Amino acid sequence: MRAFPLTGAPPRIDGRLDEPVWARADSIDDLVQWEPDNLFPLSERTVIRVAYDQRFLYVAVRCYDREPGRIASGLGRREDFPPSDRIEIGFDPRHDHLTGYVFQTNPSGVQGDFAFFDDESVDRQYDAVWEVGTLTGDSGWVAEFRIPFSQMRFERPPGSGTVWGFEARRLIHRKGEVGQWVGRPRGERGQVSRWGHLVFAERRSGPRRVEILPFTAARRAQLRAAPEAEYRGDVGVDVRLGLGTSATLAATMNPDFGQVEVDPAVLNLSVFETFFPEKRPFFLEDWRTFVPPQELFRLFHSRRIGRRPGRLPLGSTDRLVARPTQTTILGAAKVTGKGAGWTYGALTALTAREYAAVDSLVSAAGGASSVHRVERLIEPLTSYSVARLQRDVRRGTSNVGGLVTAVVREGDADALAAGVDYKIRWDRNRFEWNGHWAVTHAPGAGGPRTGAGGVTNLVRSGKHVGFHLHVDHLGRDFRVNDLGFQRNRNDRTAVDAGLNLSQPDPWWVLRGGFFSLNGGQAWNADRLVFDRGAGAGLSLQFRNFWWMSANVFRSFETLDDLNTRGGPPIVRPAGAVASADRTRRQCASVRSTPDRARAGLQPRTRCSPMDHQHRRQRG
């Protein structure tokens, strides 16, 4: 497909498509179904055109419908689509078959977007600024997009035969149809790697990517025990500079995160730390560059930078009066980019010393004592650094990467970590072997220790048969929490496997069916088994699109050596869970253990009482 170069006035984003450009631009209208009748033509015609100028991409989508009165629409928040028809437009600006950007809308103009990485993985934190106009009429509905080039990363400005990956998808809600431009047979893997081509005919100069945002902030703080309030003013600046078209330099001095959404209050009674996602814009942008897909542990979790101070303990005679809620970030900088098969990134940040106000009991001569209010150092001057390099191999279907992190503290123990990760695919992406292994050297109660850990998976995906095998191991001295985050316990080895059987094509009264069988076990270095279980599941979809599913899981008796907080292991009794779900509206479940049994009915509904809004209800 060819994108049409604009030379005159740009189109109005109103969904009318009455500008001359939309009559002259090339079009595609041969969408095929992914669901329910795989690779058959979509039942309703869809026409898509693309144009561009120096700053924007313009996309026009006309969705014909023989029953316009039955088009499903509805309003919702951004990213929260009600049950409705939908259009999705995808671009792969680097044409690396691995990364892409998807922009979504429905007949009411609800917007959504996300980014692809590693071909199939989705980053929902991508949040671009773009426009769309929609219009519903007698022949169907129309969506008209205007997307700034600056919201996407690419290696060179479009034009002179530049090729991007391109995909278009349409969802027809009442028919349960999902159509796409480039058909994908059931059982075949890949998303971005299967997209078609969008060709730009004329070169346009790339957008300027320079942003400078200075700011000032005033703060007032008052302690309950202090008669006077403390006033403070701060000045800072954020800078973002494009290095060519494929890399970005971002820097901040004395950043202001005052407008960032506050974390929710959490009552955590478990032995594991609560995970809070990153919300600060500087660290959120391009965060996926520094985080491999395997989520058992992270060597880099940016929330560690600027966290609540408290690294150094107070004295035995000190009583805490007040301390800062966060550590001041003096400055930070990072470079991220992708080109010629390489993905790279480097980040460094420096945080200030932080002090707590304490009432300290001081003994004087003669045995008398007095209380003095003093400041104690509770967080040393600290630098945080991380570097990431990844190489695409096997024509972009696979990759190998490495990551190193360092936390250097003034007058205190440092923490270092290094890891490698890989994703290797073969046999038309049916087989995948991935993993993430790391070594850490970090301080602890017994002094600095060196530990190792990792995870690996072997997965086979097929139309009818698939399986997976998972193995992970985390040593007792494996510590990533100085600059990373660990979602599970140390001192563990785990193995689990599963078998999947599916019939995705219509047969008898069924439109498709799926059966799964899985089991696994985990133990520590003392051979104490703390997790063991097995389960099975069956899901059936009928020709009228109703679903019915049943699941059963059996957990075996194990020993728990964590919840006693250092005490002797306790017995965790065996149990079983069985559940059934019909049409995803009603759910019944039964749980049993040796000392109790219970059953319950849990209805779940999702309804649209009006075409203009939607509600969720769960009881």
Reduced DSSP (H G I as helix, E B as strand, rest coil) percent helix, strand, coil of the chain, to 5: 5, 55, 40
Alpha carbon distances (Å) from 547 to 295, 296, 542: 31, 32, 6
| pLDDT for residue 609 | 44
E strand segments, 323-448: 329-339, 342-351, 354-363, 369-379, 382-393, 398-409, 415-426, 431-442
Inform me whether the pLDDT recorded for 180 exceeds 90.
Answer: yes
| pLDDT for residue 582 | 64
The answer to whether the beta carbons of residues 168 and 48 sit under 8 Å apart is yes
Higher pLDDT, 189 or 391: 391
**Number of neighbouring beta carbons within 10 Å of residue 236:** 17
| pLDDT for residue 86 | 97
Bridge partner residues of 426 (DSSP): 431
Nearest CA to 311 out of 162, 443, 167 is that of 443
| pLDDT for residue 442 | 94
Nearest CA to 262 out of 327, 354, 215, 325 is that of 325
Query: What mean pLDDT comes out for the span 161-182?
Result: 94
Query: What mean pLDDT comes out for the span 435-457?
Result: 93
The dihedral through the CA atoms of 587, 592, 596, 597 has a sign that is: positive
Nearest CA to 56 out of 10, 15, 103 is that of 10
Bridge partner residues of 137 (DSSP): 140
29: left (phi over 0), alpha (psi -120 to 50) or beta: alpha
Inform me whether the pLDDT recorded for 598 exceeds 60.
Answer: no
Inform me whether the pLDDT recorded for 45 exceeds 70.
Answer: yes
Alpha carbon distances (Å) from 408 to 298, 313, 356, 417: 19, 18, 21, 12
| pLDDT for residue 88 | 98
Nearest CA to 408 out of 441, 379, 385 is that of 385
615 band by pLDDT with thresholds 50, 70 and 90: very low
Inform me whether the pLDDT recorded for 368 exceeds 80.
Answer: no
Determine the Cα–Cα distance for residues 160 and 198; give it in Å rounded to an integer: 12
DSSP notation for 448-464:
-EEEEEEEEEEEE--SS
Determine the Cα–Cα distance for residues 11 and 15; give it in Å rounded to an integer: 10
Least confident of 166-170, 293-297, 405-409, 434-438: 293-297
Bridge partner residues of 103 (DSSP): 89, 113
Determine the Cα–Cα distance for residues 199 and 160; give it in Å rounded to an integer: 9
Inform me whether the pLDDT recorded for 192 exceeds 50.
Answer: yes
| pLDDT for residue 387 | 98
| pLDDT for residue 373 | 83
| pLDDT for residue 458 | 97
Inform me whether the pLDDT recorded for 287 exceeds 60.
Answer: yes
Bridge partner residues of 346 (DSSP): 335, 387
Query: What mean pLDDT comes out for the span 594-610?
Result: 42
Top-ranked range on mean pLDDT: pick from 186-195, 220-229, 250-259, 364-373: 186-195
Percentage of the chain modeled with pLDDT above 90:
53
320 band by pLDDT with thresholds 50, 70 and 90: confident
Query: What mean pLDDT comes out for the span 340-359?
Result: 92
Top-ranked range on mean pLDDT: pick from 366-370, 507-511, 582-586: 507-511
At a CB cut-off of 8 Å and minimum separation 6, what does 262 contact?
none
Inform me whether the pLDDT recorded for 585 exceeds 50.
Answer: no
| pLDDT for residue 583 | 57
Kind and range of the H or E element at 616? Answer: strand 613-618
Nearest CA to 373 out of 226, 232, 221 is that of 226
| Helical H segments across 2-91, by residue range | 21-24
Environment class of 272 (CB within 10 Å of its CB; exposed 0-12, middle 13-18, buried 19+): exposed
| pLDDT for residue 606 | 41
Inform me whether the pLDDT recorded for 590 exceeds 60.
Answer: no
| pLDDT for residue 280 | 84
SS3 (DSSP) at 363:
strand
* CB under 8 A, 24+ apart: contacts of 223-230: 223/321, 223/322, 223/357, 225/321
Inform me whether the pLDDT recorded for 273 exceeds 80.
Answer: yes
383 band by pLDDT with thresholds 50, 70 and 90: very high
Which tokens is 318 given? 């000190």
Query: What mean pLDDT comes out for the span 319-332?
Result: 89
The answer to whether the beta carbons of residues 63 and 72 sit under 8 Å apart is no
163 band by pLDDT with thresholds 50, 70 and 90: very high
Inform me whether the pLDDT recorded for 230 exceeds 80.
Answer: no
Higher pLDDT, 188 or 231: 188
182 band by pLDDT with thresholds 50, 70 and 90: very high
Determine the Cα–Cα distance for residues 98 and 13; give it in Å rounded to an integer: 30
> For the segment 515-574, what is each residue's pLDDT rounded down to a tens digit?
999 999 999 999 999 999 999 999 998 888 888 899 999 999 999 998 888 888 999 999
The dihedral through the CA atoms of 318, 324, 325, 328 has a sign that is: negative
- Cα(first)–Cα(last) distance of the chain, in Å? 49
Determine the Cα–Cα distance for residues 273 and 247; give it in Å rounded to an integer: 34
| pLDDT for residue 160 | 67
| pLDDT for residue 367 | 65
User: Tokens 């599963």 correspond to what residue?
Assistant: 498
| pLDDT for residue 596 | 40
Inform me whether the pLDDT recorded for 120 exceeds 50.
Answer: yes
> For the segment 397-420, what is each residue's pLDDT rounded down to a tens digit?
899 999 999 999 998 889 999 999
